[in-house]
């Protein structure tokens, strides 16, 4: 947990209360299971965004909108400290201000539980996962964004690098959409918007897999460096026709173990002219590369240690 960001959240809450706004936390408890039990034990008001949806029977993994106004000072500090600890352990915490009371704001946010797609299908969208949240807002058309942020005066979150990022700050909240007669998702995404959300999760999926394969090495690499490096070389893998997770993992292992130098080795460039399509053949081809390829450069984490 970073003290500067901790102070930022506590300061934000105090300033929000002084402005007579209503501060809320939004916790994705799919990454902090059974958090609702903690809030119930502490008698902290919250609302599940799964209520009134098909997932209502899963309170242990529901996104929880937590009201901070009205809490005693000691409890307010306790809740913020607890939530921040969760937020630095997983991409699960954002916070917002609104003029709306808890149940009204929760009812509004539930409207984005699912989105419509171009093939007349619907998809549940975990936009409150903070790896997805900034891409969700970025992919929306102006009217769609206006619909989503209606009722919000500010929106911040802890990003994947442990920094507090601001997504919204306005003086006046918009009006809530009239959804009394709605029988379909409020927002429909076209193929380009859907592609943005899918692409947003690709690097995270690959990093998660790499962390299982080379746990110590990835833990020794600063998060920002690891993400930017993996995202860059994943795009190069895709350009070479390596479009599945298993082959991308092998590709990235060479990149990580050589700080990218192995990818530039003539032997590997030759292999990429016609890469094997099966994971078994690709793995064998990677292992058959001469030691010069695998020793073309220092490992990414080794460069950091030496620095």
- Same domain for 45 and 173, yes or no, is yes
- Same domain for 118 and 151, yes or no, is yes
Among candidate residues 189, 224, 247, the one where a domain is terminated? 189
- Same domain for 74 and 153, yes or no, is yes
Q: What is the mean pLDDT of residues 54-68?
A: 96
In angstroms, the Cα distances linking 125 to 61, 111, 132, 133, 189 are 14, 11, 9, 10, 11
- Same domain for 27 and 157, yes or no, is yes
Say if residue 181's pLDDT is above 50. Answer: no
Confidence (pTM): 0.79
Query: Could you tell me the residue range of the domain that residue 184 belongs to?
Result: 3-189
Asked which of 54-68, 196-210, 245-259, 290-304 is least confident by mean pLDDT, the reply is 196-210
**Quick one: pLDDT at residue 89?**
87
**Quick one: pLDDT at residue 182?**
54
- Same domain for 12 and 158, yes or no, is yes
Say if residue 133's pLDDT is above 50. Answer: yes
What integer best gives the mean pLDDT of the chain? 91
The CA angle 12-2-159, to the nearest 5 degrees, is: 70
| pLDDT, greater one: 80 or 3 | 80
Residue 300 pLDDT grade (very low, low, confident, very high; cuts 50, 70, 90): very high
Say if residue 76's pLDDT is above 90. Answer: yes
Say if residue 145's pLDDT is above 80. Answer: yes
**Quick one: pLDDT at residue 3?**
45
- Same domain for 214 and 259, yes or no, is yes
**Quick one: pLDDT at residue 5?**
47
Residue 7 pLDDT grade (very low, low, confident, very high; cuts 50, 70, 90): low
Say if residue 67's pLDDT is above 70. Answer: yes
Asked which of 72-86, 188-202, 273-287 is least confident by mean pLDDT, the reply is 188-202
Domain count, the chain: 2
Among candidate residues 147, 171, 189, the one where a domain is terminated? 189
Asked which of 177-186, 191-200, 278-287 is least confident by mean pLDDT, the reply is 177-186
- Same domain for 170 and 35, yes or no, is yes
Residue 307 pLDDT grade (very low, low, confident, very high; cuts 50, 70, 90): very low
User: Exposure of 172 by Cβ count < 10 A (0-12 exposed, 13-18 middle, 19+ buried)?
Assistant: exposed
Q: Is 203 left (phi over 0), alpha (psi -120 to 50) or beta?
A: alpha
- Same domain for 248 and 114, yes or no, is no
Task: Find out whether 49 and 129 touch, Cβ atoms under 8 Å.
Answer: no
Give 158-161 contacts, CB < 8 A, sequence gap 24+: 158/5, 158/84, 158/87, 158/88, 158/91, 158/93, 158/94, 158/130, 159/91, 159/130, 159/134, 160/91, 160/130, 160/131, 160/204, 160/223, 160/224, 160/227, 161/223, 161/224, 161/227
- Same domain for 19 and 104, yes or no, is yes
Say if residue 25's pLDDT is above 80. Answer: yes
Among candidate residues 189, 224, 255, the one where a domain is terminated? 189
- Same domain for 144 and 30, yes or no, is yes
Task: Find out whether 137 and 146 touch, Cβ atoms under 8 Å.
Answer: no
- Same domain for 67 and 183, yes or no, is yes
- Same domain for 116 and 237, yes or no, is no
Say if residue 299's pLDDT is above 60. Answer: yes
| Of the candidates 71, 108, 80, the residue with the CA atom closest to the CA atom of residue 12 | 80
């Amino acid at each position: 947990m970073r003290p500067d960001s901790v102070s930022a959240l506590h300061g934000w809450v105090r300033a929000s209360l002084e402005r007579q706004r209503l501060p809320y936390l939004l916790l994705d408890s799919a990454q902090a299971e059974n958090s609702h039990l903690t809030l119930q034990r502490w008698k902290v008001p919250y609302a599940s965004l799964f209520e009134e949806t098909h997932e209502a029977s899963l309170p242990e993994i529901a996104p929880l909108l937590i009201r901070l106004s009205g809490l005693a000072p000691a409890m307010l500090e306790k809740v913020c400290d607890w939530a921040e600890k969760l937020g630095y352990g997983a991409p699960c915490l954002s916070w917002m201000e609104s003029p709306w009371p808890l149940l009204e704001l929760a009812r509004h946010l539930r409207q984005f539980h699912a989105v419509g797609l171009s093939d007349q299908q619907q998809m549940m969208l975990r936009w409150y996962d903070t790896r997805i949240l900034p891409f969700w807002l970025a992919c929306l058309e102006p009217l769609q964004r206006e619909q989503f942020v209606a009722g919000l005066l500010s929106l911040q979150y802890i990003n994947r690098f442990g920094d507090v990022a601001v997504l919204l700050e306005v003086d006046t909240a918009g009006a809530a959409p009239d959804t009394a007669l709605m029988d379909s998702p409020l927002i429909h995404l076209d193929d380009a918007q859907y592609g943005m959300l899918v692409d947003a999760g690709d690097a995270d999926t690959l990093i998660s897999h790499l962390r299982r394969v080379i746990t110590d090495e990835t833990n020794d690499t600063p998060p920002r460096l690891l993400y930017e490096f993996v995202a860059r070389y994943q795009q190069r893998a895709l350009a070479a026709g390596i479009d599945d997770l298993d082959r991308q993992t092998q590709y990235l292992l060479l990149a990580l173990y050589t700080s990218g130098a192995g990818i530039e080795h003539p032997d590997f460039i030759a292999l990429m002219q016609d890469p094997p399509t099966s994971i078994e053949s690709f793995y064998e081809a990677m292992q058959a590369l001469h030691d010069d390829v695998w020793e073309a450069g220092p490992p990414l984490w080794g460069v950091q240690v030496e620095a």
